Structure 1
Amino acid sequence: MTDESLQGQLNNAVKSAMRNKDKTRLGTLRMAQSAIKQIEIDERRDLSDEDVLKVLDKMLKQRRDAAAQYDEAGREDLGDKERAEMVVIEEFMPGALSEDDLDALIRTTISSTDAQGMQDMGRVMNELKPQVIGRVDMGHLSKKVREQLAG
């Protein structure tokens, strides 16, 4: 990625999608911009790249859940639309963590927070979230932390 802010990258991608007349991509990017703008207006502040990543991560989770529900209901056409939107959003997310890197990060965080067991899971998760936002599914992270804390 470049030194440009995530919002700047989104804006440039919208312009590019408009020039290329890519309606699916344009719609998805505008939806992301709208969600970001709504938070900026509601909270009356400019969002940092970390905040924008949180918004995009939430959008990805919504798309994942919706695609699964559409597939369950036999509406593959709508599931495919959700997955196409996920591909566009994922372009702006940081690279995923490997399982080995994730395990090492969890071990380091557990030792640095002096976590002793399941009662400390919240503290460990709060420490990990900012480091892994957009790089790993939070459900998967929670499962891995639970496994390591259980011993």
Structure 2
Amino acid sequence: MGQEDKSDMMSLKARVAQALNAEREKDEGCTTRLSTLRLIDAAIRDRDVCARGRGDSEGCPDADVRNVLDTMIAQRETAAREHDDAGR
């Protein structure tokens, strides 16, 4: 029997953490990918703290993580559009 792809079963938080750890293990210094993963991880951890404050001991679910990612994407698209419009 072949091995199953375990990344499909992992939560988004776990997949981000795994990618972050893999990127840290590379010996390339601070890359854009590493910086981006750190930023995403910090946002997820912030949501986890808020969720635990509300009494959810497991932290934020995948739906909240997806909302965090959608918000971060929208923020960066808006910033890029504003930079383009300003001619920067």
Tell me which interval the TM-score lies in, with the shorter structure as reference length: 0.7 to 0.9
Which AA in structure 2 matches 1:31? L
Aligned counterpart, 1:67: 80
What is the alpha-carbon distance in structure 2 between the residues aligned to residue 73 and residue 43 of structure 1?
38
What is the alpha-carbon distance in structure 1 between the residues aligned to residue 8 and residue 61 of structure 2?
15
Task: Name the count of aligned residue pairs.
Answer: 75
Of 36, 59, 63, the residue aligned with 1:28 is 36
Q: Report % sequence identity.
A: 36
What is the alpha-carbon distance in structure 1 between the residues aligned to residue 46 and residue 35 of structure 2?
16
What is the alpha-carbon distance in structure 1 between the residues aligned to residue 87 and residue 81 of structure 2?
10
Of 50, 58, 68, the residue aligned with 1:55 is 68
Aligned counterpart, 2:20: 14
Aligned counterpart, 2:46: 38
What is the alpha-carbon distance in structure 2 between the residues aligned to residue 16 and residue 74 of structure 1?
37
Per the normalisation by structure 1, the TM-score is 0.46
Question: Over alpha carbons, which structure has the higher Rg?
Answer: 1
Which AA in structure 2 matches 1:3? M
* 1:1-151 equivalence runs, <5 A: 2-20=8-26, 21=28, 23-44=31-52, 45=56, 46-75=59-88
Which AA in structure 2 matches 1:52? V
Consecutive unaligned residues of structure 1, counting only runs of 5 or more, are 76-151
Consecutive unaligned residues of structure 2, counting only runs of 5 or more, are 1-6
What is the alpha-carbon distance in structure 1 between the residues aligned to residue 25 and residue 87 of structure 2?
35
Displaced runs of 4+ in structure 1, greater than 6 A? Answer: none
Quote the offset at 1:41 in angstroms.
1.2
Which AA in structure 2 matches 1:49? D
Quote the offset at 1:43 in angstroms.
3.2
Pick the structure with more helix per residue. Answer: 1
Which AA in structure 2 matches 1:71? D
Per the normalisation by structure 2, the TM-score is 0.76
Which AA in structure 1 matches 2:50? D
Quote the offset at 1:30 in angstroms.
0.8
Which AA in structure 1 matches 2:22? S
